[in-house]
Amino acid sequence: MQYKKHIAAALLSCAAYSAHAAEPIVQRFNADPSPHVFADKVYVYATDDQSNSGTYWDSTVWRAYSSADLTSWQDHGSFLSVDVFKWAAKDAKAWAPEMAERNGKYYFYAPVGGDKIGVAVADNPLGPFKDAIGAPLIDKALDANAGDEPIDPMVFIDNTGETYLYFGTRVPKVVRLNPDMRSLAGPILDVKITNFPASDNKKKYGEAPFVHKKHGQYYFTFSTGWPGQIVYATGKHPMGPFEYQEVILDYLDISTNHQAIIEFNGQSWFFYHDNLLPGGGSHKRSITYAPLHYGKDGKIKPVSK
Ligand code: FUB
């Protein structure tokens, strides 16, 4: 199915700031975008809000879309469900996913049921996927320091090849991954964020950790909670510590906020979800994106809805 996002051309020519009219990439409820560029196309992996009950995030499938131009989007359907993980409880909820590519293999990191993270592997971005381990990669019951809620996995592969998995609510977590992408290379550690503004006690880590590297530094973006702003901190090492900087995207009129940043066609893009379609709300969210701009000092300019 093809969808048009007419705002894209205007966004591509937008020079300096990230003011834009947000439109959903597709006319369907999705959330928690995990965008990736594979072979000149952007793939967006998502939580499927269309199939949840409308009162909770209780979908059991993940969704995928792709686009060569950020304008026309192809719907690849519910390409994977929690059933791929035989150890998952029946009807375990499928939350914010992550994808990573290494040596021609595609690794899909999936929070399953709120207490485990699984990894599935495939030879192409849309599968077919199979469980890479036959057991969870992270299991709250078994892994020391996995935290209360090991969800929202995000993988960052540094240009040194070192690979890091981030996840967690309320306390951000990081653990090194081995090059096989399916085993841990060290202990799970807390990510330290310093210099939260003392004047605002709502400025704390909530969920949605995301790391990218630019201008020789590491940017750690995250949501501050429920509802949350998307804010960022910077550091000199992917494991932190990170120093709090500023707000990128302010509170939305829904209970969650979840972002990701990619480079595509020579431009940085900020993906997030919002309440953009009729009948939408906190459990019926829509994915959108905006250009992301940096100042000469490396500071990220705010994105306005
Ligand atoms: O979609 C379910 C949860 O809502 C995600 O795991 C969080 O990041 C929040 O967006």
Q: What percent of the chain has pLDDT over 90?
A: 91
From the CB of 96, is ligand 1 less than 6 Å away? Answer: yes
Ligand 1: does its nearest atom lie under 6 Å from the Cβ of 95? Answer: yes
**Please, what is the Cα angle at 227 between 148 and 244, to 5 degrees?**
75
The residue contributing the CA closest to ligand 1 atom 4 is 256
**Looking at the domain assignment, is residue 305 inside a domain?**
no
Let me know if residue 99 belongs to a domain: yes
Q: How far is the CA of 168 from the centre of ligand 1 (A)?
A: 11
Q: Which ligand 1 atom is the nearest neighbour of the CA of 49?
A: 1
* Ligand 1 pocket member 115 (CB < 6 A): no
Which ligand 1 atom minimizes the distance to the CA of 208?
8
Residue 18 has pLDDT above 60, yes or no: no
Nearest residue by C-alpha to atom 8 in ligand 1: 208
Ramachandran angles phi, psi of 132, nearest 5°? -80, -20
Q: What is the pLDDT of residue 76?
A: 98
- Indicate whether residue 256 lines ligand 1 (CB < 6 A): yes
Query: What is the Å distance from ligand 1's center to 207 Cα?
Result: 8
With a 6 Å cutoff on the Cβ, whether 257 touches ligand 1 is no
- What's the pLDDT at 21? 73
Q: Is the pLDDT of residue 16 over 80?
A: no
DSSP state of 87: T
CB of 208 shorter than 6 A to ligand 1: yes
**Dihedral sign, Cα of residue 187, residue 147, residue 63, residue 81:** positive
Which CATH number characterizes residue 130's domain? 2.115.10.20
Q: What is the pLDDT of residues 233-272, one digit of tens each?
A: 999 999 999 999 999 999 999 999 999 999 999 999 999 9
Q: φ, ψ for residue 49 (rounded to 5)?
A: -75, -15
- Would residue 51 count as lying in a domain? yes
Ligand 1 near 151 CB (within 6 A):
yes
Ligand 1 atom 1 nearest Cα:
95
Burial of 108 (0-12, 13-18, 19+ CB in 10 A): buried
Indicate the Cα dihedral angle 173, 205, 222, 87, nearest 10°: 40
pLDDT tier for residue 63 given thresholds of 50, 70 and 90: very high
Q: Shortest CA distance to 14 belongs to which of 213, 297, 289?
A: 289
| 179 prior amide bond cis, ω within 30 | no
Predicted confidence (pLDDT) at residue 61 exceeds the cutoff of 60: yes
Ligand 1 neighbourhood includes 152 CB (under 6 angstroms)? yes
Q: Tokens 């009162």 correspond to what residue?
A: 55
Residue 203 has pLDDT above 60, yes or no: yes
The number of domains in the chain is 1
CA-closest residue to ligand 1 atom 5:
96
| Cα 197 to middle of ligand 1, angstroms | 25
- Write out the residue range of the structural domain in which residue 212 sits: 2-292
Q: For ligand 1, what atom is nearest to the CA of residue 31?
A: 1
pLDDT value of position 20:
59
Per the domain annotation, does 165 fall within a domain?
Answer: yes
- Indicate whether 5 pLDDT > 70: no
Cis previous bond, 227, omega within 30: yes
Res. 90 pLDDT band, cuts 50 70 90 = confident
Choice from 167, 207, 249, 275 to test ligand 1 binding pocket (greatest atom count within 8 A of CB): 207
Mean pLDDT of the chain: 94
The answer to whether 248 touches 231, Cβ cutoff 8 Å, is yes
